[in-house]
Amino acid sequence: MISEGSLTTQFEAHIDRAIDDILASLPNPEQLPPDERRGIIARYTAVLEGNFIYWMSAGHLSVVSEEAKSVIQDNLLEEVRDSHPEMLRKFAMCACAVPTDSDALAVYGNLRNVRLFVGRLQGVEILLMMAFFEGFIVKFMPYLAELAKKRGSAERAYTDVHGTCDIVHTQELFRALDAEMTLMHDRLAPATELIEGVGILRRLIENIIHPCVAANPNHDNHRCSGNMA
Ligand SMILES: [Fe+2]
């Protein structure tokens, strides 16, 4: 999976492939029933609204290089100063897609797995996971905006902002990753272990898109009866 060459470049390619795979699995908005258009927006909101800043903060607590701390700090500053959670809440409200308890339960097992992973406070691993997250968000925004449009919403602040600013954020996170790995080079886990968080978050993102993606059976007590479409 991860082979020769600059490790950061290899990770970047791995993450790009993971994002492309997810995008290729997106159901056609035209063919989605209205309640599933609502469901994707609601589950996305349930995951992002209260967790993005928390997970990025965990990255800040975990990294040791000044470069990585500075990159994450800039990212957090923008999130808090510009009230990105409020921006997302408004987006969901305007699309009549505010998360319900059912939406929260649909992603609960996979969300918990990400939280437990983040709680290990491993800097390089969290940076990789968040670079994947930011990279996915950028490319997912046109699809999310299309779903909202089909639900009659003209609210675009959240998708417009995240379709552009996260491009820079993703690049910066890879720069932070490079600095962190350089500083930690003699203490790094094998590459396949470093990318564990990418796989755990990928499962959660797939769960946002497809409501019955079960969490890893080693950890999950709330599996649905169906499978990913
Ligand atoms: Fe944001």
User: SS in 3 state form for 179-194?
Assistant: HHHHHCHHHCCCHHHH
CA angle 143, 160, 63 (to 5 degrees): 95
Residue 221: inside a domain, yes or no? no
Alpha carbons within 13 angstroms on the beta-carbon side of residue 222 total: 14
Ligand 1 centroid vs 137 CA: distance in angstroms? 9
Ligand 1 centroid vs 187 CA: distance in angstroms? 31
Rounded Cα distance, 129 and 121, in Å: 12
Ligand 1 centroid vs 225 CA: distance in angstroms? 33
Quote the mean pLDDT of the chain.
91
Ligand 1 centroid vs 166 CA: distance in angstroms? 8
Residue 138: inside a domain, yes or no? yes
In this prediction, residue 59 carries a pLDDT of 97
Ligand 1 centroid vs 52 CA: distance in angstroms? 8
What is the per-residue pLDDT across 139-168, written as a single tens digit (0 to 9) for each?
999 999 999 999 999 999 999 999 987 778
* Of 18, 14, 142, 144, the residue nearest 91 (C-alpha): 144
Question: What is the domain-level CATH number for residue 47?
Answer: 1.20.910.10
In this prediction, residue 225 carries a pLDDT of 38
Ligand 1 centroid vs 44 CA: distance in angstroms? 13
Is-contact 59 130, C-beta < 8 A? yes
**Mean pLDDT along residues 3-8:** 67
In this prediction, residue 227 carries a pLDDT of 35
The residue type of 65 is S
Ligand 1 centroid vs 78 CA: distance in angstroms? 8
**Mean pLDDT along residues 45-61:** 98
Which helix or strand (DSSP H or E) is residue 127 part of? helix 123-150
The residue type of 1 is M
Ligand 1 centroid vs 162 CA: distance in angstroms? 6
3-state secondary structure of 6: coil
Residue 21: inside a domain, yes or no? no
Number of domain units in the chain: 1
pLDDT above 70 covers what percent of the chain? 92
Residue 142: inside a domain, yes or no? yes
Q: Which domain holds residue 187?
A: 34-209
In this prediction, residue 228 carries a pLDDT of 29
3-state secondary structure of 207: helix
In this prediction, residue 51 has a pLDDT band, given cuts at 50, 70 and 90, of: very high
Tokens representing 55 are: 């997970």
Residue 155: inside a domain, yes or no? yes
In this prediction, residue 52 has a pLDDT band, given cuts at 50, 70 and 90, of: very high
The residue type of 74 is D
Taking 60 as the threshold, does the pLDDT of residue 99 lie above it?
Answer: yes
Residue 17: inside a domain, yes or no? no
Residue 123: inside a domain, yes or no? yes
